[in-house]
Amino acid sequence: MSDHRSYEESIKAVYKGLVLLGVVTLVEVAFSLFGKGHIFPSLAENYRWPVIIASLVILILSLYKAYFIIYEFMHMKYEVSGLSKTVLLPCVLLIWAIIAFFWEGNDWNKRRSLIEKKNNETVDEKTEPQMGSDVRILKEEDFQ
């Protein structure tokens, strides 16, 4: 522990942290409700940008909350860099996991809609050629 603040200072810092986390949470909820159309409903109904902006802001604020909890409350700020690196750097792997799995999930969705669309297709047997009906054995004259 290399936290050299005085007792009074560190108590003050704790209550500042409480107010900070509380306000950030309230802002997050407000943005979430804005994106879902509970605040200014006409915007969220007619445009797509409110939900995109709200999601981005919420994501950044959540990461900030996580940073604050780890660095201030869990005292990561005051540990030696070796310790913080061995704990935090492995988490970088998660970035790849998130990209890969969300990409995959999105693909499942696309494939699902494609299959659904194909299942709903109706084929008129009289006018449309059946699968395989245009297949024939090639003869010598086809190549001339």
Partner 1 sequence: MATEAAVHHETENEKGAWDGGKQPFKVSYGKLMMWYFLLSDAFTFSGFLIAYGALRFSMPTWPVPDFVFKTAPFNNIGLGHGVDLPLIFVTFMSFLLIISSVTMVRAVQEGHRENKNGVVFWMLLTIVGGLGFLGCQAWEWTNLIGTEHMTMTTNPFGTHTESGAYLNEDGSVSDETFEMGDSYLIHKVSAHGHGGEAHAGDDYSEGSHEGGDHGEAHGFTPAQTAPGNYAGYEITDKGYILRKYRILDGDLAGRTATQEFGPKAFGALFFFITGFHGFHVFSGVVFLIIIMLNAASGLYVKRKNGYEMVEKIGLYWHFVDLVWVFVFLVFYLL
CB of 75 to partner 1, least distance (A): 8
Q: Is 53 in the site for partner 1 (CB under 8 A)?
A: no
Q: Yes or no: say if 79 and 70 are a contact pair by the CB < 8 Å rule.
A: no
Asked whether 50 and 43 are in contact (CB, 8 A), the reply is yes
x-marked contacts with partner 1 along 72-101 as a string, rule CB under 8 A: -xx----xx-xx--xx--xx--x--xx--x
Report CA Rg, the chain: 29
Q: Does 42 bind partner 1 (CB under 8 A)?
A: no
**59 is a site residue for partner 1 (CB under 8 A):** yes
State how far Cα 79 lies from the chain centre.
Answer: 31
82/132 with CB nearer partner 1: 82
Residues between 100 and 139 that touch partner 1 (CB under 8 A): 101-102, 104-106, 108-109, 112-113
Instruction: Write down the residue that tokens 């935090």 correspond to.
Output: 88
Q: Are 68 and 17 in contact (CB under 8 A)?
A: yes
Residue 117 gets the label, from left (phi > 0), alpha (psi -120 to 50) or beta, of alpha
Distance CA 55, CA 34 (A): 10
Instruction: Say whether residue 9 binds partner 1 (CB under 8 A).
Output: no
- From the list 17-25, 123-131, 132-140, the region that binds partner 1 by CB under 8 A is 17-25
Q: Examine residue 71 and tell whether it contacts partner 1 (CB under 8 A).
A: no
CB of 66 closer than 8 Å to CB of 46:
no
Count residues near partner 1 (CB under 8 A).
Answer: 50
Q: Which of 12, 40, 53, 55 touches partner 1 (CB under 8 A)?
A: 55
